[in-house]
Amino acid sequence: MVCLVSRTGRHLQRYDNLGRRQVVGCIPYRFKSSSDGTISNELEVLVISSQKCQKMMFPKGGWELDESREEAALRESLEEAGVLGIVECELGKWDFISKSHGTFYEGYMFPLLVKEELDLWPEQNLRQRTWMNVKEARDVCQHWWMKEALDILVERLNSLNEQNEHKFPNLCTDIVAANIATL
């Protein structure tokens, strides 16, 4: 058994040249599967509750000096949501103000194609995790910039689906959706 704990403290925290704290997050996603194991093209995303209240969001946290943005995204997903997977190409960068602290942040978001959902993870006693469809997640997510990242992810996945339909017009959409997950 491996012991997993969340990183704490700000001694390794990155700040940009304007003094804004740099944070990295990701949108864990998968394609819904039925009870018989077939994968559909219905996208599901994993949202988590905030530590301090029940507001919902995607995993995110500080980008630290000893890691890449992609490594930070994967670490935050493991610590906060208990999922592992493939970190895909960056969705974008957003500048925002924390409502609770009144400070400026620079935030980066990535998609995470989930390959494993852990039963035990560092913040399981602090957060709830819930798989939702895109509309539900967009409705409950508390951060405008995370909603924008979700929109970009959906647009990207739809574009990949359309490209695959043109390349493989004789395949059913279930097979195409399954292939998208492996690209």
pLDDT of residue 172: 44
pLDDT of residue 169: 52
pLDDT of residue 134: 97
Q: Could you give the CA distance from residue 117 to residue 84 in angstroms, rounded to a whole number?
A: 7
Domain ranges of the chain: 22-169
Across the chain, what does the average pLDDT equal?
87
pLDDT of residue 99: 77
Q: Could you give the CA distance from residue 153 to residue 155 in angstroms, rounded to a whole number?
A: 5
Question: 68 exposed, middle or buried (CB, 10 Å; 0-12, 13-18, 19+)?
Answer: exposed
pLDDT of residue 176: 46
Q: 112 near 28, Cβ under 8 Å?
A: yes
User: Which of the two residues, 175 and 29, has the higher pLDDT score?
Assistant: 29
- Among all chains, which residue has been given the structure tokens 């000096």? 65
Tell me the CA distances in angstroms from 80 to 87, 115, 116, 151, 166, one per residue in order: 15, 16, 14, 22, 38
R_g of the chain, CA atoms, integer Å: 17
Answer whether residue 6 shows pLDDT above 80.
no
* The CATH number fitting domain 22-169, selected from 3.90.79.10, 3.50.50.60, 3.40.30.10, 3.90.1200.10: 3.90.79.10
Helix (H, G, I), strand (E, B) or coil at 125: coil
Residue 95 tokens read as 């500048």
Residues 103-154 pLDDT 10s? 899 999 999 999 999 999 999 999 999 999 999 999 999 999 999 999 999 9
Residues 16-53 pLDDT 10s? 999 999 999 999 999 988 778 788 889 999 999 998 88
Q: Could you give the CA distance from residue 128 to residue 92 in angstroms, rounded to a whole number?
A: 26
Answer whether residue 81 shows pLDDT above 80.
yes
List % helix, strand, coil for the chain (3-state, nearest 5): 30, 35, 35
What's the whole-number mean pLDDT along residues 157-163? Answer: 84
